[in-house]
Amino acid sequence: MGWNSYGLDKIAQELVLKAKIRDSDSLNQSYKMRMAVAYGLERFWGEHLRLQKKEPDKSTYWKETWDALEMVLKKAGITLPNDPVNVDNTKAVKAMSERLWNELNLEKQRVALAVLTQLCDCIVWWTQRYKGRSKE
């Protein structure tokens, strides 16, 4: 089985442009996303919850990235848990975290992290191209 890009570069460009239009300060999250990959899927997923109340535009950027990852992995035959969760619903947060740990075996976790790493690398690349330019 060979590498399939699954259009990650195009997806990343779209994510960056949407974030830039919504709130150009959100683009700084791109670098944080790439760094967060090293901490695993649960921590990456949970970051949108941390930002949900205080910085909703940034939260949206993280969540849209997770949603894009889910879509890509589905094409690869991997179902990524992606329950809608509000930070105030502790039971739902815990349930989603447990799904991430329990529903993906080690091989699928590794594939998901590899794809997320590549997606975030693409996001950083596009961020470097668009950061500081006008919203047009």
- Look at residue 6 in the predicted model and tell me its pLDDT: 81
How many helices and strands, by DSSP H and E, does the chain display?
A: 6, 0
- Is 133 a residue whose pLDDT tops 60? no
Cβ-contact 100, 42 below 8 angstroms: yes
pLDDT tens digits along 37-74 = 999 999 999 999 999 999 999 999 999 999 999 999 99
For helices 56-75 and 29-36, the axis angle rounded to 10 degrees is 50
- Look at residue 37 in the predicted model and tell me its pLDDT: 96
- Is 4 a residue whose pLDDT tops 70? no
pTM: 0.92
CA distance 57 to 83: 19
Label residue 7 by pLDDT band (50, 70, 90): very high
State both tokens at 119.
Answer: 């997606």
Q: What is the CA radius of gyration of the chain?
A: 15
- Burial of residue 127 (CB within 10 Å: 0-12, 13-18, 19+) is buried
85-113 average pLDDT score: 94
State both tokens at 134.
Answer: 């006008």
- Look at residue 131 in the predicted model and tell me its pLDDT: 82
User: Over the chain, what is the mean pLDDT?
Assistant: 92
Q: Looking at per-residue confidence, does 3 or 8 come out higher?
A: 8
Lowest mean pLDDT among 8-12, 77-81, 128-132: 128-132
Cβ-contact 126, 13 below 8 angstroms: yes
